[in-house]
Amino acid sequence: MAKAVATINLKGGVGKSTMTAALAEFMAGNFGKRVLLIDLDPQTNLTAMMIGSDQWQVLNDSGRTLKALFEQALDSQAAPFDIEDSIQRNVSPLASLGGIDLLASSLDMIEISEEVAAWQYEDLTSQEPLLVLKNEVDKVRDQYDYILIDCPPNMGIVTRNGLMLADAYVIPTIPDVLSTYGIPQIQKRVRMFSERTGHKIKALGLIITKYRKGTNLHRDTIQRLQNAVLDYDALPADQQAQRERPPNVIPFWIPDAIAIAGAADYFDVGSLSKRYGGGDTVGALHDLTNHLMTNVEIYT
Protein backbone atom coordinates (compact mmCIF):
# COMPACT_ATOMS: atom_id res chain seq x y z
CA MET A 1 0.00 0.00 0.00
CA ALA A 2 1.22 3.49 -0.85
CA LYS A 3 2.95 5.61 1.76
CA ALA A 4 1.43 9.10 1.90
CA VAL A 5 3.45 12.22 2.71
CA ALA A 6 2.00 15.70 3.21
CA THR A 7 3.96 18.88 2.48
CA ILE A 8 3.01 21.73 4.83
CA ASN A 9 4.08 25.26 5.59
CA LEU A 10 1.91 28.06 6.95
CA LYS A 11 3.89 30.59 4.92
CA GLY A 12 3.55 30.93 1.16
CA GLY A 13 6.41 31.38 -1.26
CA VAL A 14 8.71 28.75 0.26
CA GLY A 15 8.63 26.42 -2.76
CA LYS A 16 6.15 23.94 -1.29
CA SER A 17 4.32 23.09 -4.51
CA THR A 18 7.46 23.11 -6.65
CA MET A 19 9.17 20.78 -4.18
CA THR A 20 6.17 18.43 -4.16
CA ALA A 21 6.28 18.25 -7.95
CA ALA A 22 10.04 17.69 -7.96
CA LEU A 23 9.81 14.85 -5.45
CA ALA A 24 7.16 13.15 -7.56
CA GLU A 25 9.16 13.54 -10.77
CA PHE A 26 12.34 12.18 -9.22
CA MET A 27 10.46 9.31 -7.56
CA ALA A 28 9.05 8.35 -10.95
CA GLY A 29 11.92 9.30 -13.23
CA ASN A 30 14.93 8.16 -11.18
CA PHE A 31 13.45 5.43 -9.00
CA GLY A 32 10.65 3.99 -11.12
CA LYS A 33 7.92 4.61 -8.55
CA ARG A 34 4.20 5.10 -9.17
CA VAL A 35 3.13 8.38 -7.56
CA LEU A 36 -0.23 10.04 -6.96
CA LEU A 37 -0.13 13.82 -6.47
CA ILE A 38 -3.01 15.38 -4.54
CA ASP A 39 -3.33 19.15 -4.85
CA LEU A 40 -5.33 20.47 -1.90
CA ASP A 41 -4.11 24.04 -2.26
CA PRO A 42 -6.73 26.35 -3.84
CA GLN A 43 -3.92 28.32 -5.46
CA THR A 44 -3.68 25.29 -7.84
CA ASN A 45 0.05 25.84 -8.43
CA LEU A 46 0.87 22.14 -8.40
CA THR A 47 -2.00 21.38 -10.76
CA ALA A 48 -0.90 24.05 -13.23
CA MET A 49 2.69 22.78 -13.10
CA MET A 50 1.69 19.24 -13.96
CA ILE A 51 -1.14 19.62 -16.52
CA GLY A 52 -1.17 23.29 -17.58
CA SER A 53 -3.92 25.88 -17.17
CA ASP A 54 -5.94 24.81 -20.24
CA GLN A 55 -6.40 21.22 -19.06
CA TRP A 56 -7.12 22.46 -15.54
CA GLN A 57 -9.96 24.57 -16.93
CA VAL A 58 -11.42 21.53 -18.69
CA LEU A 59 -11.34 19.58 -15.43
CA ASN A 60 -12.81 22.42 -13.42
CA ASP A 61 -15.67 22.93 -15.90
CA SER A 62 -16.48 19.21 -15.95
CA GLY A 63 -16.49 18.72 -12.17
CA ARG A 64 -13.36 16.55 -12.01
CA THR A 65 -11.39 18.47 -9.38
CA LEU A 66 -11.32 17.87 -5.63
CA LYS A 67 -13.92 20.59 -5.23
CA ALA A 68 -16.45 18.08 -6.59
CA LEU A 69 -15.42 15.49 -4.00
CA PHE A 70 -16.12 17.86 -1.12
CA GLU A 71 -19.34 19.06 -2.76
CA GLN A 72 -20.57 15.48 -2.90
CA ALA A 73 -19.78 15.04 0.80
CA LEU A 74 -21.74 18.16 1.67
CA ASP A 75 -24.76 17.59 -0.57
CA SER A 76 -26.27 14.20 -1.35
CA GLN A 77 -27.93 15.75 -4.40
CA ALA A 78 -24.60 16.88 -5.89
CA ALA A 79 -23.15 15.13 -8.91
CA PRO A 80 -21.25 11.98 -7.85
CA PHE A 81 -17.48 12.21 -7.77
CA ASP A 82 -15.76 9.50 -9.80
CA ILE A 83 -12.16 9.24 -8.62
CA GLU A 84 -11.04 7.00 -11.49
CA ASP A 85 -12.39 9.52 -14.00
CA SER A 86 -10.99 12.49 -12.09
CA ILE A 87 -7.43 11.21 -11.76
CA GLN A 88 -5.22 12.60 -14.51
CA ARG A 89 -2.83 9.89 -15.71
CA ASN A 90 0.85 10.28 -16.49
CA VAL A 91 1.00 14.00 -15.81
CA SER A 92 4.11 16.19 -16.13
CA PRO A 93 5.17 18.49 -18.95
CA LEU A 94 7.96 16.00 -19.69
CA ALA A 95 6.50 13.68 -22.33
CA SER A 96 9.23 11.15 -21.61
CA LEU A 97 8.25 10.85 -17.94
CA GLY A 98 5.47 8.49 -16.86
CA GLY A 99 4.27 7.14 -13.56
CA ILE A 100 2.74 10.27 -12.01
CA ASP A 101 -1.00 10.78 -11.61
CA LEU A 102 -2.84 13.82 -10.25
CA LEU A 103 -5.99 14.75 -8.38
CA ALA A 104 -6.40 18.41 -9.28
CA SER A 105 -7.34 21.35 -7.10
CA SER A 106 -9.74 24.19 -7.85
CA LEU A 107 -9.79 27.90 -7.14
CA ASP A 108 -13.20 27.28 -5.59
CA MET A 109 -11.72 25.14 -2.81
CA ILE A 110 -11.63 28.20 -0.55
CA GLU A 111 -15.42 28.43 -0.50
CA ILE A 112 -15.85 24.68 -0.16
CA SER A 113 -13.42 24.53 2.78
CA GLU A 114 -15.57 27.03 4.67
CA GLU A 115 -18.64 24.86 4.13
CA VAL A 116 -16.83 21.70 5.24
CA ALA A 117 -15.59 23.52 8.35
CA ALA A 118 -19.17 24.55 9.15
CA TRP A 119 -20.24 20.91 8.73
CA GLN A 120 -17.61 19.83 11.25
CA TYR A 121 -18.82 22.36 13.82
CA GLU A 122 -22.26 20.75 13.72
CA ASP A 123 -20.78 17.77 15.55
CA LEU A 124 -17.30 18.34 16.92
CA THR A 125 -16.99 14.69 17.98
CA SER A 126 -17.48 13.36 14.44
CA GLN A 127 -14.48 12.51 12.27
CA GLU A 128 -16.60 12.22 9.13
CA PRO A 129 -15.66 15.69 7.77
CA LEU A 130 -11.98 14.77 8.23
CA LEU A 131 -12.27 11.53 6.26
CA VAL A 132 -13.73 12.83 2.99
CA LEU A 133 -10.42 12.63 1.14
CA LYS A 134 -9.08 9.47 2.78
CA ASN A 135 -12.23 7.44 2.19
CA GLU A 136 -12.08 8.23 -1.53
CA VAL A 137 -8.32 7.88 -2.06
CA ASP A 138 -8.25 4.55 -0.21
CA LYS A 139 -10.16 3.14 -3.22
CA VAL A 140 -7.07 3.63 -5.42
CA ARG A 141 -4.25 3.59 -2.87
CA ASP A 142 -2.98 0.17 -3.89
CA GLN A 143 -2.23 1.48 -7.39
CA TYR A 144 0.68 3.58 -6.09
CA ASP A 145 3.98 3.42 -4.24
CA TYR A 146 3.75 6.97 -2.88
CA ILE A 147 1.11 9.65 -2.47
CA LEU A 148 2.27 13.26 -2.10
CA ILE A 149 -0.23 15.75 -0.69
CA ASP A 150 0.30 19.47 -1.31
CA CYS A 151 -1.54 21.14 1.57
CA PRO A 152 -2.83 24.73 1.75
CA PRO A 153 -0.78 27.24 3.78
CA ASN A 154 -3.04 26.84 6.81
CA MET A 155 -4.24 24.15 9.25
CA GLY A 156 -7.89 24.30 8.18
CA ILE A 157 -10.28 21.47 7.44
CA VAL A 158 -8.86 20.72 3.98
CA THR A 159 -5.31 20.42 5.34
CA ARG A 160 -6.64 18.19 8.10
CA ASN A 161 -8.20 15.95 5.45
CA GLY A 162 -4.73 15.65 3.98
CA LEU A 163 -3.27 14.79 7.37
CA MET A 164 -5.84 12.04 7.91
CA LEU A 165 -4.59 10.43 4.71
CA ALA A 166 -0.88 11.03 5.42
CA ASP A 167 1.53 8.68 7.14
CA ALA A 168 4.12 11.45 7.49
CA TYR A 169 4.76 15.10 6.72
CA VAL A 170 7.63 17.36 5.72
CA ILE A 171 8.00 21.12 6.01
CA PRO A 172 9.66 22.83 3.04
CA THR A 173 11.19 26.12 4.16
CA ILE A 174 13.55 28.85 3.08
CA PRO A 175 16.31 29.14 5.71
CA ASP A 176 15.40 32.60 6.94
CA VAL A 177 13.65 34.00 9.99
CA LEU A 178 10.21 34.63 8.50
CA SER A 179 9.92 31.27 6.73
CA THR A 180 10.95 29.24 9.79
CA TYR A 181 9.05 31.29 12.37
CA GLY A 182 5.88 29.17 12.29
CA ILE A 183 7.52 25.74 12.37
CA PRO A 184 6.89 25.09 16.10
CA GLN A 185 3.22 25.98 15.56
CA ILE A 186 2.95 23.49 12.72
CA GLN A 187 4.49 20.76 14.85
CA LYS A 188 2.28 21.52 17.82
CA ARG A 189 -0.93 21.60 15.81
CA VAL A 190 -0.12 18.39 13.94
CA ARG A 191 0.65 16.66 17.25
CA MET A 192 -2.59 17.90 18.80
CA PHE A 193 -4.51 16.78 15.71
CA SER A 194 -2.88 13.35 15.89
CA GLU A 195 -3.72 12.97 19.59
CA ARG A 196 -7.29 14.09 19.08
CA THR A 197 -7.99 11.78 16.12
CA GLY A 198 -5.78 8.85 17.09
CA HIS A 199 -4.12 9.00 13.66
CA LYS A 200 -0.32 8.81 13.90
CA ILE A 201 1.69 11.11 11.61
CA LYS A 202 5.48 11.01 11.56
CA ALA A 203 7.44 14.27 11.22
CA LEU A 204 10.17 13.57 8.65
CA GLY A 205 11.92 16.93 8.93
CA LEU A 206 12.60 20.21 7.19
CA ILE A 207 13.36 20.45 3.47
CA ILE A 208 15.63 23.44 2.90
CA THR A 209 14.59 25.27 -0.27
CA LYS A 210 15.97 28.28 -2.15
CA TYR A 211 19.29 27.91 -0.34
CA ARG A 212 21.95 30.51 -1.09
CA LYS A 213 25.31 29.18 0.04
CA GLY A 214 26.91 32.61 -0.13
CA THR A 215 24.37 34.10 2.29
CA ASN A 216 25.33 34.25 5.95
CA LEU A 217 21.67 34.39 6.97
CA HIS A 218 20.93 31.06 5.31
CA ARG A 219 23.97 29.32 6.76
CA ASP A 220 23.31 30.73 10.23
CA THR A 221 19.62 29.78 10.12
CA ILE A 222 20.39 26.19 9.17
CA GLN A 223 22.97 26.02 11.95
CA ARG A 224 20.40 27.34 14.41
CA LEU A 225 17.86 24.73 13.31
CA GLN A 226 20.41 21.94 13.62
CA ASN A 227 21.60 23.16 17.02
CA ALA A 228 18.01 23.20 18.30
CA VAL A 229 17.77 19.45 17.64
CA LEU A 230 21.11 18.76 19.32
CA ASP A 231 20.17 20.87 22.34
CA TYR A 232 16.86 19.05 22.71
CA ASP A 233 18.49 15.61 22.48
CA ALA A 234 20.93 16.61 25.24
CA LEU A 235 18.12 17.42 27.70
CA PRO A 236 17.07 15.02 30.47
CA ALA A 237 14.02 12.93 29.61
CA ASP A 238 11.73 14.85 31.98
CA GLN A 239 12.58 18.14 30.26
CA GLN A 240 12.16 16.62 26.79
CA ALA A 241 8.66 15.53 27.76
CA GLN A 242 7.70 19.15 28.40
CA ARG A 243 8.37 20.43 24.86
CA GLU A 244 8.27 19.54 21.20
CA ARG A 245 11.33 17.99 19.62
CA PRO A 246 12.51 20.34 16.88
CA PRO A 247 12.37 18.80 13.39
CA ASN A 248 15.51 17.38 11.85
CA VAL A 249 17.02 19.30 8.96
CA ILE A 250 17.11 16.88 6.02
CA PRO A 251 20.78 17.00 4.96
CA PHE A 252 20.24 17.82 1.28
CA TRP A 253 19.62 21.50 0.66
CA ILE A 254 17.97 22.62 -2.56
CA PRO A 255 19.62 25.72 -4.02
CA ASP A 256 17.91 28.89 -5.13
CA ALA A 257 18.25 28.16 -8.85
CA ILE A 258 16.64 29.83 -11.85
CA ALA A 259 15.86 26.42 -13.33
CA ILE A 260 13.84 25.36 -10.28
CA ALA A 261 11.78 28.54 -10.46
CA GLY A 262 11.31 27.90 -14.18
CA ALA A 263 10.09 24.37 -13.47
CA ALA A 264 6.78 25.93 -12.48
CA ASP A 265 6.12 26.56 -16.18
CA TYR A 266 4.21 23.88 -18.08
CA PHE A 267 6.78 23.32 -20.80
CA ASP A 268 8.57 20.20 -22.04
CA VAL A 269 12.32 20.78 -21.87
CA GLY A 270 13.08 17.14 -22.63
CA SER A 271 14.58 15.70 -19.44
CA LEU A 272 14.58 15.92 -15.68
CA SER A 273 18.13 17.23 -15.72
CA LYS A 274 17.22 20.12 -18.01
CA ARG A 275 14.00 20.80 -16.10
CA TYR A 276 15.88 21.31 -12.83
CA GLY A 277 19.13 22.79 -14.10
CA GLY A 278 21.46 19.80 -13.98
CA GLY A 279 24.60 19.57 -11.87
CA ASP A 280 24.48 19.95 -8.11
CA THR A 281 20.79 20.88 -8.11
CA VAL A 282 19.73 17.62 -9.74
CA GLY A 283 22.10 15.70 -7.47
CA ALA A 284 20.56 17.32 -4.38
CA LEU A 285 17.02 16.56 -5.55
CA HIS A 286 17.94 12.95 -6.30
CA ASP A 287 19.52 12.50 -2.86
CA LEU A 288 16.66 14.28 -1.11
CA THR A 289 14.12 12.03 -2.82
CA ASN A 290 16.04 8.89 -1.91
CA HIS A 291 16.40 10.08 1.70
CA LEU A 292 12.67 10.80 1.96
CA MET A 293 11.61 7.45 0.54
CA THR A 294 14.01 5.57 2.83
CA ASN A 295 12.80 7.36 5.94
CA VAL A 296 9.12 6.99 5.08
CA GLU A 297 9.64 3.23 4.83
CA ILE A 298 11.62 3.07 8.09
CA TYR A 299 9.48 5.28 10.30
CA THR A 300 5.89 4.66 9.15
pLDDT digits (tens, 9 = 90+) for 149-182: 999 999 999 999 999 999 999 999 999 998 998 9
Per-residue pLDDT at 66: 97
**Residue 259 pLDDT > 80:** no
pLDDT, one tens digit per residue, over 204-232 is 999 999 999 889 999 999 999 999 999 99
Q: Average pLDDT for residues 57-72, to the nearest whole number?
A: 95
Percent with pLDDT over 90 in the chain: 78
Per-residue pLDDT band at 238 (split at 50, 70, 90): very high
Q: Which residues of 114-142 are buried (b: 16+ CB within 10 A; e: fewer)?
A: eebeebeeeeeeeeebbbbbbebbeebee
The pTM of the full predicted model, rounded to 2 decimals, is 0.96
**Residue 295 pLDDT > 80:** yes
Per-residue pLDDT at 13: 87
**Residue 270 pLDDT > 80:** yes
User: Which residues are CB-neighbours of 62 under 8 A, at least 6 positions away?
Assistant: none
Q: Average pLDDT for residues 46-54, to the nearest whole number?
A: 95
pLDDT, one tens digit per residue, over 119-155 is 877 777 789 999 999 999 999 999 999 999 999 999 9
Give the Cα separation of 43 and 13 in Å (integer). 12
**Residue 239 pLDDT > 80:** yes
Per-residue pLDDT at 120: 78
**Maximum CA extent, the chain:** 58
**Residue 203 pLDDT > 90:** yes
Q: How far is CA 284 from the centre of its chain?
A: 18
Give the Cα separation of 88 and 138 in Å (integer). 17
Residue 15's region, left for phi above 0, alpha for psi from -120 to 50, else beta, is left
Q: Higher confidence at residue 261 or residue 36?
A: 36
Exposed/middle/buried for residue 237 (C-beta within 10 Å: 0-12, 13-18, 19+) = exposed
